[in-house]
Each structure stands twice: as structure tokens, then as C-alpha cells.
Amino acid sequence: MTLKEKLITHTETYDHWSKRRRYGPDGANNLNLWVLACMDERLPVDEALGIHVDSPAGGGDAHCFRNAGGIVTDDAIRSAMLTCNFFGTKEIVIVQHTQCGMLSADAKDLEKHFRDKGVDTDNITLDPTLPELKLENGAFAKWIGMMDDVDVTCMKTVEAFRNHPLIPKDTVISGWIWEVETRRLRAPTLDIEKRARTDVTAVQFGVKGKQPTRWE
């Protein structure tokens, strides 16, 4: 291939990349991939998965959604539904991590923080643009989504997406744990030896008792 041919191919490829949302499923990201990850700054999605999402900026390998804990939320479902049904995504990867802040406090104490400030957590607008979206009385602490065990939460997050009616049944879905302490990726596990050098439970953060049950 001549340099001229390479440059023509490069410019045509970039033009498609920059306008890919025009093409729906035919304009999918590079890996037909959606990543759900915790918002924690110590979780490097690119390093953990060996892809280019965050760096270089606009790497293009995947759609990436971050929230506290990398857990199932209504907006995570909304984003996954869109990318899988309309933007050509065929695979979902969930990345949670050790040392997660969602293990570090009792959700009931966090709710009390707001109540002490005069916020009625039984009557709160979650999204001012969608007032129909409401919580049942007593559900605020559950909505926060604190964890007892990050590995268990990762496994249940995978199952929640596999069983959701808005996610195509042929979507490939997997979950992974990034060990902040060792900078290694592993599958979620309950094996004590494999988790020995890491903090994966709320008990290790001094939290007593179980968090409000989010996973029915």
C-alpha cells in the first residue's frame, strides 16, 4: 500500500469514527463493548481491561459508564439498553474493585446525615426532569447502594443485567474485580485465599451489621 492509499484509508476511517452515531448499529464503538465501572479514581479502566477508553482521550474502544460502586442503577440500565439495542454493542463488562468506598460506611448512617440536615428522604425528587421517578418510603438507604461484599455485588450485578428484559439475551456479559492493592484483575470469587491480601468486605472497614438489602 502506498502512503497515499494509507492516508486515504486513515481519513476515511476517522471520518466514520467521528460520525459513527449517525450509523446506528453499523457505527458501533471499536469493540462493540459497554463497560460499567466504579467512579473511583483508582480504577483505571484502560489498564484493567487492556483497552483504550479513557486514554488517549476518545480512544473509541467502548462506551463507558461510571457510577458509585459500578452497580446496577436505573440510569445504568438506561445507558446499557441504548448501547445494546441501538448502537451495535454486543458485550457488557462490569468492573468493580477492592478498597471501594461503597464498603466504607453504613447506608443508614448516610441517610441519617441527610435527615439531620432537614432532608425528608421519604419525599425527595431524585431527578427534577423526571418527577415520576420516585422511591417508596424507607427505600433511600437501599437506593444509596452500599455493599457488604464487592465480589458478591459484582456477581449479582452480572445476573441483574443478564436477566433484564431491556438487555438482548445474546449479549455477552462478564464481571471482574480490580485489586487496587496489587493492580491486578481477577474474576469475582468467594475463595478466602484469593482475597486474602485485599479489602473486599464492609467488615474490614469497621461496618457492623448488614447493609439494607438492595438485591432481592
pLDDT digits (tens, 9 = 90+) for 90-126: 999 999 999 999 999 999 999 999 999 999 999 999 9
Task: Provide the domain limits for residue 139.
Answer: 106-145
16 is in an annotated binding site: no
- Are residues 141 and 177 located together in one domain of the fold? no
Positive or negative torsion for Cα 72, 77, 79, 81: positive
Q: Is residue 34 part of a domain?
A: yes
Q: Is residue 181 part of a domain?
A: yes
**Same structural domain, 177 and 193:** yes
Is the pLDDT score of 158 beyond 70?
yes
Tell me, yes or no, whether 44 lies in a domain: yes
Strand, coil or helix: what is 200? coil
Q: Is residue 192 part of a domain?
A: yes
Alpha-carbon 38 to chain mean position:
5
Flag whether 151 is marked binding. no
- The arithmetic mean of pLDDT across residues 170-199, rounded, is 97
Reported pTM:
0.94
Say yes or no: 89 and 70 in one domain: yes
Residue 116 marked in a binding site: no
Is 40 part of any known ligand binding site?
Answer: yes
- pLDDT confidence band for 57 (50 / 70 / 90): confident
pLDDT of residue 55: 76
CATH number for position 183: 3.40.1050.10
Q: Output the average pLDDT for the chain.
A: 95
Whether 170 and 116 map to the same domain: the answer is no
Domain count, the chain: 2
Whether residue 136 is found in the same domain as residue 30: no
Q: Cα dist. 111→10, 53, 89, 103, 140 in Å?
A: 53, 34, 37, 15, 7
Q: 58 pLDDT exceeds 80? A: no
Cα dihedral 11, 59, 92, 203 in deg (nearest 10)? 180
Please give the grid coordinates belonging to residue 51.
483497552
Sign, CA torsion 38/79/55/31: positive
